[in-house]
Structure 1
Amino acid sequence: MGSPKKNESKGFFASVSSSFSVFSNAMHRSVNGLLGYEGVEVINPEGGKEDAEEEAQRGRWKQEDRDSYWKMMQKYIGADVTSMVTLPVIIFEPMTMLQKMAELMEYSYLLDRADESEDPYMRLVYASSWAISVYFAYQRTWKPFNPILGETYELANHGGITFLAEQVSHHPPMSAGHAENDHFAYDVTSKLKTKFLGNSVDVYPVGRTRVTLKRDGVVLDLVPPPTKVNNLIFGRTWVDSPGEMIMTNLTTGDKAVLYFQPCGWFGAGRYEVDGYIYNSSEEPKILMTGKWNESLSCQPCDPEGEPLPNTEMKEVWHVADVPPNDKFQYTHFAHKINSFDTAPKKLLASDSRLRPDRYALELGDLSKAGTEKTSLEERQRAEKRTREANGHNFTPRWFDLTEEVTTTPWGELEIYQYNGKYSEHRASIDNSGSIDNVDVKSTEFNPWQYGNLSTE
């Protein structure tokens, strides 16, 4: 808030605006004190100058950058901006969408517990808690890099899991992923659909997520809620995911239906999740409640959804400790995702860690990151022209396009299936007994399939 002189120099309307800001802040403190919500986060759906200044202090995104970005983006209002717009590197985080997919593995122990559980309803409690746990990471407001066609990401050294994701299509952008350990197999085909609304963007997860619990062969299907990124350009950017998450046991017909509360003024309802585990006859068996940024708990219930007598609420999941004042609001696990410590031996040259734009941004060199990002995008377009001139189509290496097309709440989806070749590739490396002394960080990023094939 400026001094009277500053307000005077800015004119009458600026002065009035500042006065409203003083009133709003005072009302915030008073209401919080009266209601006992001291320190609660106030969300202003309209944004505001002070919110924008606070956002600029928290990161790289200054208001003058937002103003020029707004001029560029106005013509895209109402459109899907998933891959049609070249975005400035200043709004990115040093992670790709493939790595973002891997963040679901942070609390993979919940899937282990689901597999070990003999109670069919507790299986869904653990599995749906796993699906919700990633939303703590999804509240970050920086944008991940769009993967280059053929780009991959590998994760090892975490809970006995082997994780692989590959960018299988560029238009529309689609990724496929597979993860596996002794307890479960995870398979996803991901295609995001967006709608740019000016100062916000709606994100629709046109994807399919399946988890197979190995002990009994139970197959779980996940349909997440849509997400809204608010105050993209004006005000402090924040993320909300109001709506239902449904996880269905395709083997038995049981399901979890959990409702993400929308965020209101003064932060009312934000983060809150409530719902039930239902049997195949749609009778509630277990109630679930909590906050996706803190913890989730469950309790057995009667057919009316009320807690059973002589039972207690039991915590199922609690968010792990996070680094204080982290530049990119990363969790410890997010840092592991970028680390080469979680990379397998003889990392694929197409791996996201090796992207020069991502790595430059991680080191804080925005200028180099922007230059490298432009170079990669130009190279991707050039490779496409060469491939098409030769009459060749791109073929994913580790996933196969099936004939299956599934219907989602937001559109039709072609399904990619893990083909098992990566497991064979890794087994051949592990059985070779050779030690790779090459500095993996010096490996040139190489996702190109045509005209510049990787030799690994």
Structure 2
Amino acid sequence: MMVMMQVAEQKDTKVVLTKPFSLESGSDSDPSYRAPNLIRRVLALLKNVRPGSDLTKFQLPPVFNIPKSQLQCYGESVYSTRLDLLSRCNSGENPLERFTNVVAWSISTTRPSPFGIAPYNPILGETHHVSKGNLHVLLEQVSHNPPVSALHATDDKENIEMIWCQQPVPRFRGTSVEAQVLGKRQLKLLNHGETYEMNSPNLFIRILPVPGVDWVGNVNIKCLENGLEAKLSYRTSLFGGRGRYIRGQILDSSSTKVIYEVYGHWDSIVQVKDTDNGKEKEIYNAKEVISGLQAPIVKDSKSVWPTESGIVWGELSQAILNKDWEKAREVKQAVEERQRNMSRERDTKGLYTWTPKNFVVSYSKEAGWECSPIHKLVPPAPIIAQ
């Protein structure tokens, strides 16, 4: 699954980067990161957790970790694609074509995830900075409790900007865990003066009766400038089987006229049907977009920030890849203890509010978390996505 990696020396540290989640990542055929007797171990891990509990502060042993941070997973969903769907969004000849392409791109950010293992919880101030072609992507962990991640991406050639603010809230449901992903995603096609706003589906981890991981819930995509809206529903199958359905509509919000019916599977083919003439067309093919993805490479190790995910967690990721679980436990505890020490030091100095380096962050009960990038453009990164 993720046995291929990129390692670059940086003084006494290593940048360890593993393959992104791809179409193959949800397969049960690769046991590389699966603990023995996985179901029993997951149930034992959660036996003292009450149903409905918020798992935000729940710390997993390294044997249950994928060798990458959640911050990297967010970034990968944007820059790790085999096809340039963002260019297609920009090149649409009319608002409906562009909107339909944005819907396809939004679906492409939904990635399969293996059962029973999870990425690391990012530490405060952790960053992830990667470029692919002219697209430059920068993420920062702007809050630790609650965990909030900010993303800013720009493509100066296509004149595209992307801003995300993500807050996962996982809760234990007795036989499942559902992680609600709060926050707003914006995609701006500046050449057309269009801003698309959307949310994320929720990650659903089913323990019983049939273990599996899927995305569920409703996703709304709106463009105020052209008045188009998509209402998508992500559905799963509780007893295994095909699952991973998408159903929905693309409509004109001013007249509520349904233009397209949307249907398919987000890990396979998604199609639309014209409600006027009944014509069908494919808008998304997961195999073409998110299969066979490769780990990013380090182009300039001296320019990688010390806060980069691949450095912060590099030693732990290497231990997990080597299946050296004793070393992994030591390293993970050391990273977490450093974060606690930094928090205590800030409290001692009276610095109770963390100031991110790349974003202005605010919170209100009405709007939730808002993350605004400080700089207009994201600079080219020393790490390159393949």
TM-score (norm 1): 0.69
1:282 is displaced (CA, Å) by 1.4
Q: Within the alignment, does 1:319 sit opposite 2:286 as a pair?
A: yes
Long gaps (5+) in structure 1: 1-53, 303-307, 323-329, 431-435, 441-456
2:73 aligned counterpart, secondary structure: helix
Are the aligned partners of 2:177 and 2:205 in contact in 1 as well (CA < 8 Å)?
yes
Match 1:273 to one of 246, 267, 288:
246
Residue identity opposite 2:61 in structure 1: P
Match 1:188 to one of 154, 164, 169:
164
Q: Within the alignment, does 1:349 sit opposite 2:315 as a pair?
A: no
Are the aligned partners of 1:155 and 1:344 in contact in 2 as well (CA < 8 Å)?
no
2:354 aligned counterpart, secondary structure: coil
1:120 is displaced (CA, Å) by 1.5
Pairs within 5 Å for 1:7-406: 59-63=33-37, 67=40, 70-77=43-50, 78-82=52-56, 84-105=57-78, 106-107=80-81, 109-138=84-113, 141-156=116-131, 158-181=132-155, 182-183=157-158, 184-231=160-207, 237-265=211-239, 267=241, 270-280=243-253, 281-302=255-276, 308=277, 311=279, 313-320=280-287, 332-333=292-293, 335-337=294-296, 339-340=297-298, 346-354=303-311, 355=313, 356-392=315-351, 393-402=353-362, 405=364
1:185 is displaced (CA, Å) by 0.8
Q: Percent identity?
A: 24
Are the aligned partners of 2:199 and 2:221 in contact in 1 as well (CA < 8 Å)?
yes
1:71 is displaced (CA, Å) by 4.1
1:103 is displaced (CA, Å) by 2.1
More strand by share: 2
Are the aligned partners of 1:121 and 1:277 in contact in 2 as well (CA < 8 Å)?
no
1:365/1:422 CA distance change after superposition, 3 Å: farther
1:76 is displaced (CA, Å) by 2.2
Q: Within the alignment, does 1:416 sit opposite 2:375 as a pair?
A: no
1:220 is displaced (CA, Å) by 0.5
Are the aligned partners of 1:162 and 1:180 in contact in 2 as well (CA < 8 Å)?
yes
Residue identity opposite 1:386 in structure 2: E
Partners in 2 of 1:176 and 1:261 — Cα distance?
Answer: 27
The range that moved more, 67-76 or 276-285, is: 67-76
1:398 is displaced (CA, Å) by 0.7
Are the aligned partners of 1:401 and 1:417 in contact in 2 as well (CA < 8 Å)?
yes
1:62/1:112 CA distance change after superposition, 3 Å: same
Partners in 2 of 1:401 and 1:165 — Cα distance?
Answer: 13
Partners in 2 of 1:286 and 1:361 — Cα distance?
Answer: 46
Between the two structures, name the one with larger relative contact order (CA 8 Å, sep ≥ 6): 2
1:141 is displaced (CA, Å) by 5.0
1:346/1:85 CA distance change after superposition, 3 Å: same
Long gaps (5+) in structure 2: 1-27
Larger radius of gyration: 1
- Aligned CA RMSD, in angstroms, stands at 2.9
Are the aligned partners of 1:174 and 1:192 in contact in 2 as well (CA < 8 Å)?
yes
1:299/1:344 CA distance change after superposition, 3 Å: farther
1:263 aligned counterpart, secondary structure: coil
1:86 is displaced (CA, Å) by 2.0
Count of matched residue pairs: 347
1:265/1:113 CA distance change after superposition, 3 Å: same
TM-score (norm 2): 0.81
Are the aligned partners of 2:209 and 2:238 in contact in 1 as well (CA < 8 Å)?
no
1:98 is displaced (CA, Å) by 0.8
